[in-house]
Structure 1
Amino acid sequence: MNTKRINVDALMASSDVRFGTSGVRGLVKRMTEEVCYAYTAAFLQEVVVKSDSVNQADKANLVILGHDLRPSSPYIASVCAAAITNAGGQVIYAGALPTPALACYAKHHHASAIVVTGSHIPFDRNGIKFYGEHGEISKAEELAIEHATVNLPATSMTMALPLADKQVESYYIQRYVDFFGDANFKGLRVAIYEHSGVARDLLRTILEALGIEVITLGRTNEFVPIDTEAVRPEDVIQASNWAKEYAFDAIFSTDGDADRPLIGDELGQWMRGDMVGILCAKYLAADVVVTPVSSTSLTEQSAWFNQVVRTKIGSPYVISGMEHANTQTTGLIVGFEANGGFLLGSDVIIGNKKLEALATRDAILPMLAILAMARKQGCQLSALVASLPNRYTFSDRLQNFPKEQSSALLNVLQHDAARAQLMMAPNAGGIVSIDMTDGFRVSFSSGDIVHLRPSGNAPELRCYAESDTQENAQLLCTHCLERVATHV
């Protein structure tokens, strides 16, 4: 085969397709065959082949490949398949499946995995997530991929995708049907807001297998960019209306690749992802919780956990924190993010049931854990949230806000405390502390917190606010972004 050598760094600069908080992301029109092939080849070369646990000759042999329901995803997957095959690997094509389902099957088979997905970002963008046999790749491995030089074929870089292997889906379904089989869900009525989420059919299968009556709503073939950290106003209204019409016990949805849950109570009120994470960790009786700085301070205030570890935003940082915690304790270690994605750093054992560790974001586990917790306590989901102390968070974002512009703004605020206070929360009292673990997070004497950071996945400036009332948290966030938009 005729080939040419190319440096991934150069492709990254020319295409602006690069790693964000989780995986490679970019505009679809810039995710060319050359770009997608090069990233895949670099992953195989720099991560899979250099892994230490198996003989080098076998390292690139088995790769689990799947994608979400974006229009561009199957084609990009066909490029990834060609790169794997040309490297001497064997592709197990799983079809359209949740990211955690692919990661779970790969972990079980000591294989690698590639998922073509842009998660929650708009359909004109897409991405690729990479998993070595140890799980989601680290930031160090991302750097190795970026600096790699790889061979590209001079001719076509695609191949026809084979039929989907249904064993990947079945393994993931059985994982949760087995673990929650004794939870006594019978009599519950749960709605699924399906939209274009890749888990929409799989989720129904799991719920019905557990004896739950399922109502399916809002299915569409057009991609809907559901962001579980910034729920669209129309989805807030729609869930409330559906609750009145269908009288369900809960409503479930996910982002595009189903590694982030969107959970609503019996009133159709969407629960914040970090609240879901706290409740899920409590149900599982976690000893150590690892979570980014953007998650609510209720994690500490609840006093439910022996240790809370704070990290930068992004699942690789949470995973790194869990790995470090595993060297310090034998207790149950979990992680979650403000988007609701839940990670298991160690095996969970409840009674005679065992749920194996899965150190990647997952949407299904927190859904079922919240239902099981409510059923065990004999209450509705809204009562679970009401049982927590009065501490509320709200987040939103400015779209089409380039990362360079975000960085410049945060640099100014960092060096000008008076301007920072005026722009972020002029009525919240004096600045008590500043946390720059990830972005610019300011605590005020009123107890309010406002946090600005550039998105790692898209040209957006994100704002997270925390206060003692939901209304004030929302006002803090909204007014801060309004001031930024006006003055920048």
Structure 2
Amino acid sequence: MLSSHKLILNSGITFGTSGARGLVEDFTPDVCAAFALSFAEVMQNKNAFTTIAIAIDNRPSSYKMAQAISSSLGERGIEVHFFGVIPTPALAYYALQSKIPSIMVTGSHIPFDRNGLKFYGSDGEITKSDEVAILNADVEFNSLVNLPPLIYRDEAKSLYIKRNIDVFPSDLLVGKRIGIYEHSSAGRDIYCDIFESLGAEVIALGRSDEFVPIDTEAVSFEDKQLARAWVKEYKLNALFSTDGDGDRPLLSGENGEWLRGDVLGLICSKLLNIEALSTPVSCNSAIEKSNSFKSVVRTKIGSPYVIDEFENLTKKFATVAGFEANGGYLLASTVQVNGHSITPLPTRDAVLPAIVVLSQLQQTTISRLVKSLPQRFTASDRIKEFARDKSLQLIHNISQNSSLWLPKLKLSNVLTNIDKTDGFRMTFENGDIVHLRPSGNAPELRCYAECSNQEEAEKLVQTVLNAIKTL
């Protein structure tokens, strides 16, 4: 007999900011089974259930991982509903409505040689304490021998489409041309249907048979060029895309410039009349400077930390939401749009914030909406293959002797504030901000910057990262 605890402990797979992540070669069928069975045991201790929902992204390894999960759960008498390739929020929404747990097989935006698992209880995303419980659970099981094919269902896809179109008028986007950068997104077979149902003329672009690791926090130079070229060529009013599992949005306006995720979240929250926000420390300070919210709580980076604040906020405020710098939007309470209710979906979603912002296109443009905000500009990038231990040591060294290290990082302004909520966030006398932290999902060092103009923010990020590369 195999031990789920020992298999997970020796797998090299760890929980990051959102789910368990690791190399594909480490996600063996038995390791996948170990995670699934430990998760099921932890959830059974909370609420009894007989069914678990599963979906996958377009990574080459995801289907086999889902087979292993399904097979192991089936042997324990748990029925599996498999929904194929759909966005993570589509799976999460179905599971919430059905009051059952779910598992999404996805590595999100990280390269295809890695993959991951996102877990949801019957009431939404699991907590950090649930992650600890899964790691400590110990379920005995036999090694998997056969991995039978999975039977596909489509209820989750239909339900997600319905959620995103029912509260908006069918002519919302009539006369507007919306491009969909499909690449290998898990939602690429859904998005055209959604926007066409709202009256838009949709142009599908850039579909790829190979997995494309789109990182909405560090959009590549090539993807920035593509957006500008497509908007010009097809005379688009907007261009929409997501990361690999469809929970982080990318939206550009008529100028082909991708919006930062926190800017998109800020505009969406204002339009939805949100009273209180939970958002990570890395997000744009324009949130507070906009004076649009009764309360803004800053958290560590990662949706579980954002969600942790929802319980207290919903006791005090009628409308509560959260969003991250990557654009993922989390709705904690019911909101009213056009006299209709949008029910909560307290996990990252890419479609709702995009539609809410696009709903303004009959009156204005996206670029004008952005210009109406306090003019604070952010940028971010990362150094790949930068070990977590190395990142932590660098941050420790800077925090212990900033006067010695700031010149090494080419930072010459006077340091006025340090925030250690998550990583090391430095505010300087001229208002610039530099934030360093190790990625929670991959061996990467991330750098965020905020300045009074976009060019300076991008330059500051590259200056710091280039300096670190030479250390």
TM-score of Structure 1 vs Structure 2, range by shorter chain: over 0.9
Distance 1:405 1:436 in 2: 17
Structure 1 runs (4+) deviating above 6 angstroms are none
Q: Which residue of 1 aligns with 2:29?
A: 33
Match of 1:359, SS? strand
User: Which structure 2 residues correspond to residues 197-212 of structure 1 after superposition, within 5 A?
Assistant: 197-212=185-200
1:430-484 CA-partner distances (Å, limit 9, x unpaired)? 1111100000000010100000000000000000000001111111110101111
Q: Which residue of 2 aligns with 1:43?
A: 39
State which of 149, 159, 169 in structure 1 corresponds to 2:148. Answer: 159
Confirm or deny that 1:341 pairs with 2:337: no
State which of 347, 364, 368 in structure 2 corresponds to 1:379. Answer: 364
Q: Which residue of 2 aligns with 1:120?
A: 109
Q: By how many angstroms is 1:425 displaced? A: 5.0
Q: By how many angstroms is 1:12 displaced? A: 3.8
Q: By how many angstroms is 1:321 displaced? A: 1.1
Distance 2:116 2:143 in 1: 24
Match of 1:335, SS? strand
Q: By how many angstroms is 1:18 displaced? A: 1.1
Match of 1:225, SS? coil
CA contact (8 A) 1:138 1:316 kept: yes
Q: Which residue of 1 aligns with 2:65?
A: 76
Structure 2 counterpart of 1:343, one-letter code:
L
Match of 2:213, SS? coil
Instruction: Structure 2: state its 5+ residue gaps.
Output: none
Match of 1:205, SS? helix
Q: By how many angstroms is 1:158 displaced? A: 3.0
TM-score if structure 1 supplies the norm length? 0.94
User: Which structure 2 residues correspond to residues 261-276 of structure 1 after superposition, within 5 A?
Assistant: 261-276=249-264
Distance 2:61 2:187 in 1: 18
Match of 1:360, SS? strand
Q: Which residue of 2 aligns with 1:56?
A: none
Distance 1:233 1:391 in 2: 21
Structure 1 counterpart of 2:403, one-letter code:
A
Q: Which residue of 1 aligns with 2:134?
A: 145
Structure 1 counterpart of 2:166, one-letter code:
D
Distance 1:49 1:196 in 2: 34
Match of 1:279, SS? helix
Q: By how many angstroms is 1:352 displaced? A: 2.1
State which of 382, 401, 405 in structure 1 corresponds to 2:390. Answer: 405
Q: Which residue of 1 aligns with 2:349?
A: 362
Q: Which residue of 2 aligns with 1:213?
A: 201
Structure 2 counterpart of 1:34, one-letter code:
D
CA contact (8 A) 1:421 1:430 kept: no
Q: By how many angstroms is 1:60 displaced? A: 3.5
Q: Which residue of 1 aligns with 2:445?
A: 461
Instruction: Structure 1: state its 5+ residue gaps.
Output: 53-58
Q: Which residue of 1 aligns with 2:339?
A: 352
TM-score if structure 2 supplies the norm length? 0.98
Q: By how many angstroms is 1:388 displaced? A: 1.2
CA contact (8 A) 1:25 1:128 kept: yes
Q: Which residue of 1 aligns with 2:302?
A: 314
- Aligned-residue RMSD, C-alpha: 1.2
Q: By how many angstroms is 1:323 displaced? A: 2.0
Match of 2:268, SS? helix
CA contact (8 A) 1:120 1:256 kept: yes
Q: By how many angstroms is 1:419 displaced? A: 2.9
- Give the 3 Å change call, closer, same or farther, for CA 395–128 of structure 1 in structure 2: same
Confirm or deny that 1:11 pairs with 2:2: no
Distance 1:273 1:223 in 2: 22
- Give the 3 Å change call, closer, same or farther, for CA 323–157 of structure 1 in structure 2: farther
Q: Which residue of 1 aligns with 2:212?
A: 224
CA contact (8 A) 1:275 1:385 kept: yes
Distance 2:390 2:281 in 1: 22
Match of 1:397, SS? strand
Count of matched residue positions in the alignment of Structure 1 and Structure 2: 471
Structure 2 counterpart of 1:117, one-letter code:
T
Q: Which residue of 2 aligns with 1:478?
A: 462
Distance 1:137 1:81 in 2: 19
Distance 2:306 2:14 in 1: 20
Q: Which residue of 1 aligns with 2:78?
A: 89
Q: By how many angstroms is 1:5 displaced? A: 4.0
Q: Which residue of 1 aligns with 2:375?
A: 390
